[in-house]
Amino acid sequence: MYDTRAERAFVLLQLGLVASEGPLADARRFLEESLALYQALGRRWEASHVLLWLGDLARYQADFAEVRLHFQASLAIRSALGDRRGVAEVLIWDSHAAAELGHIDEAEALARQSYALHEELGDSANRVFGLGELGVMLIWAGKYDEAFRVLRHSLELYQELGNRAMSAYVQGWLAVALLGIGQYEAARSLSQQATAQARELPGATSGLAFVLHYAGWVALTLEAYREAEALLEESVVLHRQIGSAGHLGWPLAQLGYTHWLLNDTPRAQAELLHVIEASVRQHAFTPLLLALPPIALMLAEQGRTERAIELYALAWRHPLLANGQSFTDSFGQRLDAVVAILPPDIAAAAQARGRLLDLWETAAALDTELRALGWGQDS
């Protein structure tokens, strides 16, 4: 009798990839069944490929510990098989997992290692992918000038290759890099192009969710608050639609700030409280970092000035915020005004305490503090 397990494993893998643009639980089931078949057949390379996709899926579902286990298992197989191109592929995805856990130096190192391998191997399509992902890691590291140069080059190469989907993706991140160096109108133009292009791509729900977030980020920076609200709300809806718990908090944190600026404080509090609670549960670095500055401003408004200054000092330890011109303009100036309210010695003491705070312990404490202040009760 003919053994059809290999064919079934392949079909299940394809079903999983298609389902990854919809309910992620369905995608996980298909991929896990595919992996089990490939492992039973001893098809190690194919198993490593499925492990890579399972890891990326777990990243979207905010199971970051599982993410790295899948990536490390895939990396071990590809290293043992001498598949250097495959190793480079795993390294770039593992860099995302490291960044989303807050291991920024490791993330940048992994991305640089991956790109160096792609350069050495000379595969143009993989090289341009590695270049673009390195640019993303440089944004996390707060190296906005280098990120801009790298992402601009990556975009040029994608456009030469005629890859519209990846062009839209890189345009979105390039807009974020432009925000970091203070080129706001250029960021707006690029984010609008990326959004229009992403809307034309069939079945690219997750990609559109990301691009809408970047466009909303740009609009927020330019103080176009109603536009920002619409874009960020659409991004949140799409992330919820596909079950992307791992990335929902990114636009939701900035939506909370937008609603505060629009004087809808109860809604802002509920959204930011959700981000804090989920970040603590998931150990999700990026949404937590994006939520801290607006929470600091809102606490200052409630008279908790010293706590606000502590959170400001904690958040600005991280180069993603401290080195970004848009963060300085959107938050830093307002938070500096909060610092100026207090006598210099008291403000300096609060700043010193903030610089010593542990990010995750503070997040857990904030969850309790904000609830005690009544946040989320009126939503």
Tens digit of pLDDT for each residue in 288-332? Answer: 999 999 999 999 999 999 999 999 999 999 999 999 999 999 999
**Residue located via tokens 């606000």:** 308
The CA-based dihedral angle spanning residues 118, 202, 60, 261, taken in that order and rounded to the nearest 10 degrees = 110
User: Mean pLDDT throughout 260-273?
Assistant: 96
Residue 259 neighbours by CB distance under 10 Å: 24
Q: What is the CATH number of domain 1-82?
A: 1.25.40.10
User: Mean pLDDT throughout 232-254?
Assistant: 92
User: Mean pLDDT throughout 251-270?
Assistant: 97
User: Mean pLDDT throughout 220-242?
Assistant: 95
Residue partners of 39: CB distance under 8 A and separation at least 6: 47
Measure the CA–CA gap between 31 and 79, rounded to whole angstroms. 22
- Of the candidates 240, 304, 296, 316, the one whose C-alpha atom is nearest the C-alpha of residue 60 is 240
Cβ(319)–Cβ(138) below 8 Å: no
User: Mean pLDDT throughout 243-266?
Assistant: 94
DSSP, res 143: -
Cβ(295)–Cβ(365) below 8 Å: no
Structure-token pair, residue 299: 């606490």
Structure-token pair, residue 5: 């397990």
- Is residue 131 pLDDT above 70, yes or no? yes
- Is residue 379 pLDDT above 60, yes or no? no
Task: Kindly list the distances between the CA atom of residue 59 and the CA atoms of 139, 193, 204, in Å, as whole numbers in the listed order.
Answer: 19, 27, 17
Structure-token pair, residue 95: 């860099």
- Is residue 125 pLDDT above 80, yes or no? no
- pLDDT level of residue 268 (50, 70, 90 thresholds): very high
- Residue 204: per-residue pLDDT: 76
User: Mean pLDDT throughout 267-277?
Assistant: 96
- Is residue 246 pLDDT above 90, yes or no? no
Residue partners of 143: CB distance under 8 A and separation at least 6: 319, 323
User: Mean pLDDT throughout 196-223?
Assistant: 91
Pick the residue with more confidence: 346 or 66? 346
- Residue 52: per-residue pLDDT: 93
- Residue 341: per-residue pLDDT: 93
User: What digits encode the pLDDT tens for the residues 153-203?
Assistant: 999 999 998 888 889 999 999 999 999 999 999 999 999 999 999 999 877
Pick the residue with more confidence: 71 or 64? 71
Report the predicted TM-score, pTM, of the whole model to 2 decimal places: 0.91
Task: Kindly list the distances between the CA atom of residue 94 and the CA atoms of 53, 146, 237, in Å, as whole numbers in the listed order.
Answer: 12, 21, 27
- Residue 369: per-residue pLDDT: 95
**Average model confidence (pLDDT) for the chain?**
93
Question: What percentage of residues in the chain have a pLDDT greater than 90?
Answer: 78
CA atoms within 13 A on the CB side of 343: 2
**Residue located via tokens 């929470």:** 295
User: What digits encode the pLDDT tens for the residues 13-47?
Assistant: 898 888 777 677 788 899 999 999 999 999 999 99
- Is residue 63 pLDDT above 90, yes or no? no
Residue partners of 374: CB distance under 8 A and separation at least 6: none
User: Mean pLDDT throughout 99-121?
Assistant: 94
State the span(s) of the chain assigned CATH 1.25.40.10.
1-82
Measure the CA–CA gap between 292 and 368, rounded to whole angstroms. 15
- pLDDT level of residue 3 (50, 70, 90 thresholds): confident
86 Rama sector, left if φ>0, alpha if ψ -120 to 50, beta otherwise: alpha
Measure the CA–CA gap between 41 and 33, rounded to whole angstroms. 13
